[in-house]
Amino acid sequence: MTTDSPRRSIVTLTTDFGDRDGYVGSLRGVLLAHDPNLVLADITHAIAPFAVMEGALVLRAAAGHFPPGTVHLAVVDPGVGGERRPIIVSLEGHHFVGPDNGLFTPFLDGASIVTIDAARLDLPDPAPTFHGRDLFAPVAARLATGAAPADFGPPIHDPVRLDWPELIPVEGGVAGVVLHVDRFGNAITNLPADRDTGLDTFEAGGRQGIPRVRTYAEAPRGSVVALVGSSGLIEVAVVEGSAAEKLGLSVGSKVIGHRAG
């Protein structure tokens, strides 16, 4: 005799809440109260406070590794309680739930987007400072257990997009910027990783001739290198060190890629 196992839907969580307070626990509690069989996967809660661009980059790097059907609850929401809209972004079988403030910029092209009408949810009025717990988490839970995005509100076609930095052609190469500095001090740029661009050496923080390597093991400890990171973008790094500290790099710092020859 066999029995059907309970449905095991996945909800990821990405926030700037940190781990000191009970905010993340509250999100998890709301989700599990709706369905104890949900699988909750923390992407990170260490996004810098209010850093919407950083949250977008982290989601860009991580979301695609989860299977279709995953619901991504993301809250980096400096405008909570204001005029910004709560939205659901659906793309290639994934659903993203959170604020319409550019957080979902990497997933907007080709997506279906609805704004969440709280009046449809039969919930108490959300606390003006905690939509993550009182609005986004209940929506994410219902999506994960079979509700359709259209159940929550009407479609929209004008989502907020971040001003994603563009590459600038320069003589012999292309200039980009640092988008994010990770906990290792690696400076993640918007420079493309595709070898077809011909970018072979790099310039950052006053250092020229930074070589491109495939792995950290190809250079001695303390060397400044450039390589393709897990995000699929060029990163400037120091082997067993911090490029941010050694080169004075931060978000917005210029990085130039030079073509061979």
* Per-residue pLDDT tens digits for 1-26: 344 545 579 999 999 999 999 999 99
pTM of the model: 0.84
Query: Does the domain spanning 168-259 belong to CATH 2.40.30.90?
Result: yes
Q: How many Å apart are CA 31 and CA 127, to the nearest integer?
A: 17
C-alpha–C-alpha distance, residues 112 and 12, integer Å = 19
Instruction: Report the pLDDT value the prediction gives residue 6, as an integer from 0 to 100.
Output: 54
Intrachain domains 10-151 and 168-259 with the same fold: no
What value does the mean pLDDT take over residues 150-178? Answer: 93
Which whole number is the average pLDDT over 171-179?
91
pLDDT at res. 7: 59
What are the residue ranges of helices labelled H in the chain?
23-34, 52-62, 131, 137-144, 243-247
Whole-number pLDDT of residue 123: 83
Pairwise pLDDT comparison (31 vs 119), residue with the higher score: 31
Model confidence pLDDT, tens digit, residues 192-201? 876 555 788 9
| Confidence at 188, pLDDT banded by 50, 70, 90 | very high
CB 248 within 8 A of CB 169: no
A 10 A CB-CB count for 43 gives 21
Domain boundaries, the chain: 10-151, 168-259
- Ranked by mean pLDDT, the top range of 49-53, 111-115, 122-126 is 111-115
| Identity of the amino acid at 155 | P
Mean local confidence (pLDDT), 177-184:
90
Quick one: tokens of 114? Answer: 């609805």
Distance CA 9, CA 138 (A): 14
pLDDT at 3: 44
Task: Match domain 10-151 to its CATH number in 3.30.2230.10, 3.40.640.10, 3.40.50.10790, 3.30.300.160.
Answer: 3.40.50.10790
